[in-house]
Structure 1
């Protein structure tokens, strides 16, 4: 919205159409990040921060379902490791712990025009398609192969119950 009159008209339209209150939020015009986290409690750690860059032909200004579904053509995923990205990672880990997420999650942030990352959402059941889901993509950008990522998630879940995976070498020798 460019002015109060446009905002008022848009809010009125939402209220009349959906017959419920309208939520108005500040637009965040900066960078968008998704942060991968694995582990539990104090053992949880950021495995990577990925910046979402929309290509010119993408639906503008939003990492929408349309853009995500056609990500091969509409989105570029870039490993991010500058100060702003690291701050998003730090805040993502704090959000993960505050929300009491378990084993793994993907936490999304969008920065304002001054480079201040703001929490958007937590995805505690992040997609795990090896080449199409954000968590495996950002893991791969940070040197974590898909099978290793699944192993990390499995290990985190087992650890919550005081368990570990059986010794795979011992299992191979007895098979």
Structure 2
């Protein structure tokens, strides 16, 4: 390990962070809300080809169609879903996040979820971003996710979200 740290110091000229590897499943959860945040869905992330030390890296994300399997919340035990949802909301509140965020977890050796990353500005591409994917796998629709995000953002500035409905009605009339 000392060799690895020394290599990082030499390459990047900065300290290295050393963390224990968490061997369990990776779970990502979405949280939305300002006054009363709640978990809006979750999914597990696993490699198509199992490995002992899987990391959901940028390289894996770029090749997600061939390399990654996303599984909806029904594949997670009810007890674990409840723990992850509670921890996700607690993290959201503790960091005073707003509107919407994605919190990533990894299970430790005993199966307990540990926060590994918090994304206060999660990607919103319906095709490949984790938040829309987990929301869809949890039974939601992309348009509802975007409306939820806008409603929360508008509410912070005491703005009405009525314009969302007005635009929706105009679009329906055009069809």
Whether the TM-score (by the shorter chain) exceeds 0.5 is yes
Distance of 2:51 and 2:166 partners within structure 1: 48
User: 1:26 — aligned with what?
Assistant: 20
RMSD between aligned residues: 2.3
2:43 equivalent among 41, 50, 54: 50
2:149 equivalent among 150, 153, 156: 153
User: 1:17 — aligned with what?
Assistant: 11
After superposition, where does 1:83-98 map in structure 2 within 5 Å?
A: 83-98=79-94
- Choose 163-172 or 90-99, whichever is displaced more: 163-172
For residues 104-148 of structure 1, the C-alpha deviation after alignment (integer angstroms, 9 at most, x for no partner) is: 011111111211111111111111111211100111111211111
Query: Using a 3 Å threshold, how does the CA distance of structure 1 residues 72 and 36 change in structure 2: closer, same or farther?
Result: same
Query: Using a 3 Å threshold, how does the CA distance of structure 1 residues 172 and 108 change in structure 2: closer, same or farther?
Result: closer
In the alignment of these two chains, the number of paired residues is 167
Distance of 2:121 and 2:22 partners within structure 1: 25
Distance of 1:116 and 1:148 partners within structure 2: 31
1:75 and 2:68 equivalent? yes
Distance of 2:168 and 2:134 partners within structure 1: 31
Distance of 1:164 and 1:153 partners within structure 2: 13
Structure 2 portions without partners, runs of 5+:
none
1:8 and 2:2 equivalent? yes
Structure 1 portions without partners, runs of 5+:
1-6
Whether contact under 8 Å (1:37, 1:44) holds in the other structure is yes
- Deviation, 1:169, is 6.1
- Choose 56-65 or 125-134, whichever is displaced more: 56-65
- Scaled by the length of structure 2, the TM-score of the pair is 0.86
